[in-house]
Amino acid sequence: MDFSSKLLENAVNEVSRLPGIGKRTALRLVLYLLKQPKENTKYLVEALTHLRKDVKSCEKCHNISDTELCDICSNPKRNGEIVCVVEDIRDVMAIENTAQYRGLYHVLGGKISPIEGIGPQNLQIGSLVEKVKNGEVKELIFALSSTMEGDTTNFYIYKQIEKYGVTTSTIARGISVGDELEYADEVTLGRSIVNRIPFEQSIKG
Amino acid sequence: MDFSSKLLENAVNEVSRLPGIGKRTALRLVLYLLKQPKENTKYLVEALTHLRKDVKSCEKCHNISDTELCDICSNPKRNGEIVCVVEDIRDVMAIENTAQYRGLYHVLGGKISPIEGIGPQNLQIGSLVEKVKNGEVKELIFALSSTMEGDTTNFYIYKQIEKYGVTTSTIARGISVGDELEYADEVTLGRSIVNRIPFEQSIKG
């Protein structure tokens, strides 16, 4: 791509470093900013700068937070004895949206993935094991993606905490609510039969 | 979406104002920046700030430029008597990439579109008419999109400059190079027959 302006080229290059954004999309975004009032770019730039400078990681659960201790960890109404282990902050947001969970979280910051060069030492596993060891936690819920990396991570953590006698569970795998049975893959369908639940329990919703 | 951090929420809101970027994509982009070294956000922010502050519009063709007169307009090797009328800077880049055109450009900054509230007064039409009136221009090539808005804009400009006796043309409409005939729409195919070109001319490439 030939640019008529070095400033434009530079901006397009920086924007296209973002994941899933190619040069053409970057150019579209940058030209859009140029057509908008100058304030819009200013607000965007300020929001990103402040975020990168001032955002913190909750020292207890490693969730993204504006304070040392996040709103969930500092909420006295939440049950501190149950901890849900998730990959990243998006999973916390997804589970919070269900309004079904009143325990705390532990954000690992990723999954063990040798292909991407992510080992246990790159994740927040040590502090989780520490929490279990101290007896703060009575139950761990593994809520990682149902992939090989997710399962590996679950298993790795399980092996570390097994000896402390904490209750562990994983979120249920099964047919999505609203899904047609015939389109479900056989692994999911198989698991949903093996892990079937009492009907009385299912209608309680 | 419930955010655990005001700073994060703010950044996601600003990023999601960009066209084609929803809240989920914005969150993905912002979390990506948070995982990267702080310098990456700094470079991005600086590139956007400099662009918005220092970028100029070429005073002759209204192309985006770092200087008062863009590289194309200030190039003495280009033919100043031919002007190609385009919608925006992306079209200049596309035509420059073909390396087939050695004239100048005139960037309108959009098309006449009553639905989007864009009238002739919002576009750089006045300065184009002025150029033609001054006798600087011998030929105008309309290279707008082949849509109703593009055709309307072509016609509006044509009506304004008709009386000055300048040669006008539009880029050829026809079957794309490499396209199968059977999949072409009938309007394009029809036009390509009406505006057929001598075979000797077509093989010169």
Alpha-helical (H) ranges within B36-184 are 38-54, 89-98, 126-133, 148-161
pLDDT given at position A205: 55
Closest by alpha carbon to A128, among A168, A188, A182, A187?
A168
Q: Where in chain A is the domain with CATH 3.40.1360.10?
A: 80-171
pLDDT given at position A41: 93
Buried b (16+ CB within 10 A) or exposed e, B172-189: eebeeeeeeeeeeeeeee
Residue A165, judged by CB atoms within 10 A of its CB (0-12, 13-18, 19+), counts as exposed
Classify domain A6-53 at the CATH topology level. Answer: Helicase, Ruva Protein; domain 3 (1.10.8)
Distance set, CA A180 to CA A197, A201, A204 (Å): 19, 21, 21
CB contact at 8 A, B44 and A13: no
pLDDT given at position A186: 83
The answer on pLDDT for A153 being more than 90 is yes
Q: CB distance A14–B63 less than 8 Å?
A: no
Residues from chain B contacting residue A5 (CB–CB below 8 Å): 55, 64-66
> For chain B, what is the mean pLDDT?
89
CB contact at 8 A, B112 and B120: yes
Between B29 and B201, residue with greater pLDDT = B29
CB contact at 8 A, B192 and B174: yes
pLDDT given at position B50: 93
The answer on pLDDT for B53 being more than 70 is yes
Residue recorded with tokens 């309307």: B152
Least confident of A75-79, A113-117, B95-99: B95-99
Q: Considering CB atoms only, which of B7, B13, B65 is closest to A5?
A: B65
CATH architecture label of A80-171: 3-Layer(aba) Sandwich (3.40)
Confidence category of residue A121, pLDDT binned at 50, 70, 90 = very high
CB contact at 8 A, B52 and A33: yes
Give, rounded to a whole angstrom, the gap between the first and last alpha carbons of chain B: 56
CA distance B183 to B25: 35
Over residues B77-98, the mean pLDDT reads 91
Q: CB distance B2–A50 less than 8 Å?
A: no
Kindly report the nearest CA distance between residue A30 and chain B, in angstroms: 8
Structure token digits, residue A89: 């902050």
Structure token digits, residue A128: 């989780």
Give the residues across from A65 on adjacent strands: A56
pLDDT given at position B18: 95
pLDDT given at position B82: 93
Over residues A84-113, the mean pLDDT reads 91
CB contact at 8 A, A39 and A46: no
> How high is the ipTM of this complex?
0.81
Q: Where in chain B is the domain with CATH 1.10.8.420?
A: 6-54
Confidence category of residue A61, pLDDT binned at 50, 70, 90 = very high
Kindly report the nearest CA distance between residue A25 and chain B, in angstroms: 9
Q: Considering CB atoms only, which of B11, B49, B96 is closest to A51?
A: B11
Confidence category of residue B117, pLDDT binned at 50, 70, 90 = very high
Chains A–B, number of C-beta pairs less than 8 Å apart: 164
Between B167 and B179, residue with greater pLDDT = B167
Give the residues across from B53 on adjacent strands: none
Between B201 and A89, residue with greater pLDDT = A89
Structure token digits, residue A28: 């579209």
Kindly report the nearest CA distance between residue B52 and chain A, in angstroms: 6
Mutual orientation of helices A23-35 and A38-54 as an angle, nearest 10°?
120
For residue A181, give every residue at least 6 positions away whose Cβ sits within 8 Å of its Cβ, in sequence order, or none: A175, A189
Q: Considering CB atoms only, which of A11, A55, A58 is closest to B8?
A: A55
Over residues B40-55, the mean pLDDT reads 93
The answer on pLDDT for B1 being more than 90 is no
Q: CB distance A51–B30 less than 8 Å?
A: yes
Class of domain B6-54: mainly alpha
> For chain A, what is the mean pLDDT?
89
Q: CB distance B4–A89 less than 8 Å?
A: yes
DSSP 3-state of A56: strand
pLDDT tens digits, one per residue of B119-159: 999 999 999 999 999 988 999 999 998 889 999 999 999 99
CB atoms under 10 Å from CB of B64, counted, come to 23
The answer on pLDDT for B202 being more than 90 is no
3-state secondary structure A77-115: CCEEEEEEEECCHHHHHHHHHHCCCCEEEEECCCCCEHH
CA distance B37 to B98: 39
Structure token digits, residue B32: 């990506």
Q: CB distance A15–B44 less than 8 Å?
A: yes
The answer on pLDDT for A124 being more than 60 is yes
CATH architecture label of B77-171: 3-Layer(aba) Sandwich (3.40)
Over residues A84-96, the mean pLDDT reads 91
Closest by alpha carbon to A4, among B126, B52, B65?
B65
pLDDT given at position A120: 92
For residue A170, give every residue at least 6 positions away whose Cβ sits within 8 Å of its Cβ, in sequence order, or none: A141, A142, A143, A154
CB contact at 8 A, A173 and A146: yes
pLDDT given at position A189: 84
Confidence category of residue A22, pLDDT binned at 50, 70, 90 = very high
Kindly report the nearest CA distance between residue B23 and chain A, in angstroms: 12
pLDDT tens digits, one per residue of B181-190: 888 888 888 8
